[in-house]
């Protein structure tokens, strides 16, 4: 029987993960099958149990189940514990290992695909939900000069920053007088054509604006371009986090560049 993997989420029908993992499998000569599982809200653990019973070896977890996947895991990685969320599960007999590759995906995209070196840079991270939580620790490991976390609900950013000293946290107004070399939008505002409360002046000369949302232009990316900043969506992060999951499952890291190029071309 061929080794089985899947992405579990709700909604999940439009996930690009099956296509991405099919490219990785072809490229590395690995025989795997990668499917899509729509789990009902409240039915996540049952969906995992059924997939395991059907021979599933691993799964990617997407909205809204990443926190639940973390709690369900019998063993977790340090990066999953830092994020309090799992986007990758390894189903190993009765054991369930939870990992989080989102942070490595972002850092990989910044370094590998965008040529951005974080060391010594001033970084503003917008948002304090699951995506933001998953990237704070790897961002700090890259030794920026400053990491500020701004969120609409300021208290969430404060709590997040306290967990990860020396990051600073607060509302958007708190950082309005500063300039940043990298501004990461880890909010879901772009999905509803909304803009977090930042102004053009936030971008330092030569800054990069990064929106984790992909597949659409967002008000944040438009603002950044108007300010003269370079702008990138989160498609590269999606491909890089998938490659990290593939490495965990199969022991081989695929080449992400041709897969990202094909997705961009499509």
Contact between 102 and ligand NAP per CB under 6 A: yes
Site residue total, ligand NAP (CB under 6 A):
27
Q: Closest residue to ligand NAP, Cβ-based?
A: 129
Q: Is 132 in the site for ligand NAP (CB under 6 A)?
A: yes
Does 105 bind ligand NAP (CB under 6 A)? Our answer is yes
Q: Does 221 bind ligand NAP (CB under 6 A)?
A: no
Q: Smaller CB distance to ligand NAP: residue 156 or 253?
A: 156
Residue 131 as a binder of ligand NAP (CB under 6 A): the answer is yes
238 binds ligand NAP (CB under 6 A): yes
The single residue among 16, 81, 112, 156 that binds ligand NAP, judged by CB under 6 A, is: 156
Question: Among 16, 66, 121, 200, which one carries the catalytic annotation?
Answer: 66
Pairing of strands 88-92, 95-99: antiparallel
Q: Does 155 bind ligand NAP (CB under 6 A)?
A: no
Nearer to ligand NAP, 65 or 97 (CB): 65
Tell me if 241 contacts ligand NAP by CB under 6 A.
Answer: yes
Q: Which is nearer to ligand NAP, 99 or 102 (CB)?
A: 102
Q: What does the alpha-carbon distance between residue 31 and residue 10 come to, in Å, rounded to a whole number?
A: 27
The smaller minimum CB distance to ligand NAP, of residues 62 and 179, is found at 62
* Per-residue H/E/C for the chain: CCEEEEEEECCCCCCCHHHHHHHHHHHHCCCEEEEEEECCCCCHHHHHHHHHHCCEEEEEECCCCHHHHHHHCCEECHHHHHHCCCCEEEEECCEEEEECCHHHHHHHHHHHHCCCCCCCCEEEEECCCHHHHHHHHHHHHCCCCEEEEECCCHHHHHHHHHHCCCCEEECHHHHCCCCEEEEEECCCHHHHCCCCCCCHHHEEEEEEEEECCCCCCCHHHHHHHHCCCEEECCHHHHHHHHHHHHHHHHCCCCCHHHHHHHHHHC
Residue nearer to ligand NAP on the CB measure, 76 or 187: 187
Is 191 a binding residue for ligand NAP by CB under 6 A? The answer is yes
Among 170, 188, 225, 253, binds ligand NAP (CB under 6 A): 188
In the bound complex, what is the minimum distance in angstroms from residue 199's beta carbon to ligand NAP? 14
Does 17 interact with ligand NAP (rule: CB under 6 A)? no
Q: What would the two tokens of residue 181 be?
A: 């070399």
Query: Taking a C-beta distance cutoff of 8 angstroms, is the pair 202, 229 a contact?
Result: no
Nearer to ligand NAP, 224 or 237 (CB): 237
Task: Find all residues with CB under 8 Å of 261, minimum gap 6, and list them.
Answer: none
121 annotated active-site: no
Specify the stretch interacting with ligand NAP by CB under 6 A; choose among 69-77, 161-169, 234-242, 245-253. 234-242
The rounded distance, in Å, linking the Cα atoms of 261 and 27 is: 14
By CB under 6 A, residue 153 contacts ligand NAP: yes
Residues taking part in catalysis: 66
């Amino acid at each position: 029987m061929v080794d089985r993997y899947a992405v579990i989420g709700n909604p999940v029908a439009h996930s690009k993960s099956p296509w991405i993992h099919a490219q990785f499998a072809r490229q590395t000569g690995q025989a795997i099958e990668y499917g899509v599982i729509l789990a009902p809200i409240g039915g996540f653990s049952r969906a995992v149990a059924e997939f395991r019973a059907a021979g599933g070896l691993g799964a990617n977890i997407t909205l809204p189940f990443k926190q639940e996947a973390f709690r369900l895991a019998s063993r977790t990685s340090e990066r999953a514990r830092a994020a309090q969320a799992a986007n990758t599960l390894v189903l190993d007999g009765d054991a369930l290992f939870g990992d989080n590759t989102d942070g490595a995906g972002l850092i990989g995209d910044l370094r590998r695909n965008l040529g951005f070196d974080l060391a010594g840079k001033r970084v503003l991270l917008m948002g304090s939900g699951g995506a933001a939580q998953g990237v704070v620790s790897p961002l700090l490991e890259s030794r920026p000069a400053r990491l500020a976390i701004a969120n609409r609900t300021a208290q969430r950013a404060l709590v997040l920053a306290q967990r990860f000293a020396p990051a600073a946290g607060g509302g958007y107004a708190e950082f309005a007088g500063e300039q940043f070399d990298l501004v990461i939008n880890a909010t879901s505002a772009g999905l509803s054509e909304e803009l977090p409360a930042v102004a053009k002046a936030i971008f330092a000369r030569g800054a990069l604006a990064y929106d984790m949302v992909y597949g659409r232009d967002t008000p944040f990316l438009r603002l950044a371009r108007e300010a003269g900043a370079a702008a990138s969506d989160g498609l590269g992060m999606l491909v890089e986090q998938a490659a990290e999951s593939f490495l965990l499952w199969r022991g081989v890291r695929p080449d992400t560049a041709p897969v990202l190029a094909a997705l961009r071309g499509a």
